[in-house]
Amino acid sequence: MTERNYAQIGERVYEETLPNCLTVRVVSKPHHAKACAFFVTRYGGMDLRFQLNGQWQDTPAGIAHYLEHKMFDTEDGNALQDLAQNGAEPNAFTSNAITAYYFYSTEHFYENLKILLEFVSVPYFTDESVEKEQGIIGQEIRMVEDTPDWQIYTNLMECLYEKSPARVSVAGTVESIRHITAQTLYDCHRAFYDPSNMVLCVVGNVDPARVSAIAREVLPEAGGAPILRDYGEEESSAPARREHAQVMEVSMTQFLAGYKCDPPPEGVDLLRLGMIGDMACDILFGDSSPLYSRLYEQGLINDTFGGNFDILPGVAYLYVGGDTNDPHAVHAAVTEEAQRLAREGIDEDFYQRVRRAAYGQMIRGLNSFETIAISQAEGVFHGYDYFSFPEVFSSITKADLEDFLRRNVTADRTAISLITPKA
Amino acid sequence: MTKQRIQLLDNVFLTYVPADKFKTDFLSAQFITPLRAETAGLNALLPAVLQRGTVQYPDMQRLSAALDLLYGATIEHSVRKRGESQLWGFLATCVDDAFLPDGSKLLEPLTGLLGQLICQPVLEGGTLSPAYVASERTNLIDAIRSAIDEKRTFAARRLLEEMCRGEAYGLSHIGDEASVAAITPEALTAHYRAAIAQSRLELYYCGRAERERVESAFQTAFRSLPRAEDPILTPPQAHPPRQSPQVIREQMDVSQGKLSVGYSVDTDDKDAVVVMNTMFGATSNSKLFLNVREKLSLCYYASSTYHRSKNMITVASGIEFENYQKALDEIGAQLSAMQNGDWEAWELTAARSSLSNGHRSIFDSASQLEDFYMGQIATGRDDDPEKLLEAALAVTPERIQSAAKAVKLDTIYFLTGKEEPHS
């Protein structure tokens, strides 16, 4: 395996691409008791339409997440239990763009790694077991239906996007998941769980050569060709709908405003764009921004206020929200402040401060094994080396941020989602 | 990683944990006070008001700017309930000097800020800023009211309230609306003066700095802290078993029912209860997960928690409204299985593995370790994770079964919809 040392950030990485096209990364953490393995496929809630054997397939909303649940079933039982019996803490999640299976353990690491690779690569579904999962996932969906944070986000995405599957909830609906069968799950597994579409990232005090040897032993020898996917026609910069309001059992009005940003590039530019977006958020409404102080002192926001920049397949958006008594005033203030910053320029001292804080924030992120593993996987999928962030970061200028705000945070690109209390 | 405990001043202690595996230093300053209805709101409001500014940095924007300059160091106020104590204070982190591009030292200025927040607040005519008090009082009331927003935590909290009525453990750690609404700047100032002089102050550091450097930084930062009489920390009282179980049913406009079940535990063999509870419902390998979720598909989550200092177990699950009795019966059946010694050898092995993984991983997180040690101090104990693990691993099947027999149904809380069953 190739070894790379990133002295400035104190990280060491071992890397290899197997003959089946699987990328293996091992991030060395010699002083930790725990180690984790993340096995990640580039397949998420937005991958609803794709080509299999030359034919376009349309699949029901929520299928990637449903598949994630069912992957734990094995011919002999359930991998969740196999891992847990070995002292591992296993879990999985599905986002818009990826599905990740992982475990943390302080003992039996290599046995657990073997179990992880086996159950994710060998599907085992029956119509009966697929049917049974309807109850469990149905309850997961009911749970999120009662969760204001989830509802406000889903409603915002429906406002912002017209054609992109970014508007579809990762979990699907109780109705959509009824159409999922063992056969659709097998098809999706065949298309997306190919080693060439996956990354294995291990973080901890482990032997990189042994990780690679286990991956070679367990996984198929050959990998397939890249998958063709369809994320819908190109979106216009205007939102599909300006506003959505829902009444729920909450104590106070919550809002989430979104700004549709330019579609994201690939490669290192994507990493750069992510940093620009994050810093633009800090400048615009971060804790030390003039806007935050002003709105907080006016009693329009409290410490629930905040937001971020998010990149999904083919789309990117900036969001901000929180509890407030006057969502429209706060929303308008954010848009106006962005345009003021673009027009008058960002104060140089303020920019330098935020820059320092943003750098510290990225270093801080390296405390989390999950952040490391997922960033590594994302980097492989999009063609950049995440740990090169210090160099990429130093190429960003104040003008980049001003330009980002000027283009993206405008009145004609925005929508707002509200959750209001019952009268 | 050997923890050291050092007395710095009268009734001020430092828990020092040397660690060179993190990218950041973790600091904490916590006042430990008995949890009481009369003072819960005052203690919750105080750190929020103190965080608004200091003599040197009199508003949020200047304080945040100071933190930005320290490479995005963070300070957050915190209020916790551990056992029947209330902990209030500040948690702080900064990037370790080793990863800074310009050789800055962050520990001393950050510790200095912590000291300022506690010892040098913004005063107007000897009183805490009335504007800050008013604004944070509103925010705290909003936070108290927002308890209904997240139904999962709401149901867990309502169970504790009903089950522990009349006990400190039943109180909310952030106080109740009526007492918070009645807090004046004068009352809060009087409370502030008494609290910082009389309460035990516990400091914590985890990171790469030498002990002498950390001691000296804290000593300098807190040199003006007033110190009065030595308060006595009262250990939590075990929950007294109820003669016959109570059932509480409440309605809200929700899609999913939330079932919470509380049990008293009448045994002193707490290590055995820890293992029993792990097998019963604490992992994805437990009886509750495997039966209520996997076998009967009744829910997405069903898990149990052991409240060691109170000798209570609580179970939480989200279900369809009409499955109330079914779920309750199954939870009861799984408890009976534990009481009858009805488990397979692997279930015990898995529970031991999971406990061992959990206890060993605590050392891989500076914040978990802080919470662990503060919890120990607040409940009058002095154990290390290794010692607790050793005790748990020594528990025999006979002791597990006796522990299960000491578990008695106490309170059932069910949050249900306004129309049932679900259509």
What number does CATH give the domain A243-421? 3.30.830.10
CB atoms A137 and B300 under 8 Å: yes
pLDDT for A92: 97
Q: How is chain B split into domains, by residue range? A: 4-221, 246-416
Nearest-CA distance A354 → chain B (Å): 6
CB atoms A107 and B357 under 8 Å: yes
What phi and psi, each to the nearest 5 degrees, are found at residue A267?
70, -155
Q: Which residues of B touch A356 (CB under 8 A)?
A: 68-69, 71-72
Chunked mean pLDDT (size 10), chain B, 423 residues? 90 95 97 96 98 96 95 97 97 95 92 98 97 97 94 96 97 97 98 94 97 97 88 85 95 93 97 98 93 89 96 96 95 98 94 93 94 95 94 98 98 88 47
Do the domains B246-416 and B4-221 match in fold?
Answer: yes
CB atoms B298 and A135 under 8 Å: yes
CB atoms B61 and A34 under 8 Å: no
Least Cα distance to B316 among B266, B273, B260, B362 occurs for B260
As a whole number of angstroms, the distance between CA B52 and CA B62 comes to: 10
Supply B248's token pair: 């509480």
**Which superfamily, per CATH, for B246-416?**
Metalloenzyme, LuxS/M16 peptidase-like (3.30.830.10)
**Residue reference for tokens 């997960």:** B289
Supply B377's token pair: 């101090």
Single-letter amino acid, residue A101: Y
Supply A335's token pair: 């848009």
As a whole number of angstroms, the distance between CA A175 and CA B165 comes to: 42
CB atoms A139 and B320 under 8 Å: yes
> How far is residue B112 from each of residues A39, B17, B100, B216, B299, measured CA to CA in Å?
43, 20, 19, 11, 49
Give the count of Cβ contacts less than 8 A between chain A and B: 189
pLDDT for A288: 92
Do the domains A243-421 and A2-218 match in fold?
Answer: yes
What number does CATH give the domain B4-221? 3.30.830.10
Stretches in chain A below the pLDDT threshold 50: none
Task: Enter the ipTM.
Answer: 0.86
- Please say if A68 is a catalytic residue: yes
Please name the CATH architecture into which domain A2-218 falls.
2-Layer Sandwich (3.30)
Say if B249 is an interface residue toward chain A (CB within 8 Å).
no
Supply A385's token pair: 């080396």
Nearest-CA distance B360 → chain A (Å): 7
Q: Which of B2, B17, B21 has the highest number of chain A CBs within 10 A, making it the mutation to test binding with A?
A: B21
Say if B362 is an interface residue toward chain A (CB within 8 Å).
no
Q: How is chain A split into domains, by residue range? A: 2-218, 243-421
Q: Which of A367, A370, A375, A391 has the highest number of chain B CBs within 10 A, making it the mutation to test binding with B?
A: A367
Beta-bridged to residue A243, according to DSSP, are: A416
How many Cα atoms sit within 13 Å of B71 on the Cβ side? 24
pLDDT for A312: 97
pLDDT for B423: 42
Say if A10 is an interface residue toward chain B (CB within 8 Å).
yes
Q: Which residues of B touch A137 (CB under 8 A)?
A: 300
Which residues of A, range 96-115, sit inside 8 Å of B by Cβ? 104-107
Q: Select the residue of B71, B138, B150 nearest A356 (Cβ to Cβ).
A: B71
SS3 labels along chain B: CCCEEEEEECCEEEEEEECCCCCEEEEEEEEEEECCHHHHHHHHHHHHHHCCCECCCCCHHHHHHHHHHCCCCEEEEEEEEECCEEEEEEEEEEECHHHCCCCCCCHHHHHHHHHHHHHCECEECCEECHHHHHHHHHHHHHHHHHHHCCHHHHHHHHHHHHHCCCCHHHCCCCCCHHHHHCCCHHHHHHHHHHHHHHCEEEEEEEECCCHHHHHHHHHHHCCCCCCCCCCCCCCCCCCCCCCCCEEEEEECCCCCEEEEEEEEECCCCHHHHHHHHHHHHHCCCCHHHHHHHHHCCCEEEEEEEEEHHHCEEEEEEEECHHHHHHHHHHHHHHHHHHHCCCCCHHHHHHHHHHHHHHHHHHHHCHHHHHHHHHHHHHCCCCCCHHHHHHHHHCCCHHHHHHHHHCEEEEEEEEEECCCCCCC
Cis peptide leading into residue B421 (ω within 30°): yes
How many CB atoms are closer than 10 A to CB B166? 7
Q: Select the residue of B93, B99, B361 nearest A9 (Cβ to Cβ).
A: B99
How many CB atoms are closer than 10 A to CB B253? 12
Q: Which residues of A touch B360 (CB under 8 A)?
A: 33-34, 106
In chain B, the residue whose alpha carbon lies closest to the alpha carbon of A145 is B255
Least Cα distance to B154 among B70, B258, B55, B63 occurs for B258
Q: Select the residue of A136, A303, A354 nearest B297 (Cβ to Cβ).
A: A136
| Cα torsion through A117, A121, A125, A130, rounded to 10 | 70
pLDDT for B300: 86
Which residues of A, range 36-95, sit inside 8 Å of B by Cβ? 78, 80-81, 84-91
Give the angle A77-A79-A82 at the CA atoms, nearest 5°. 90
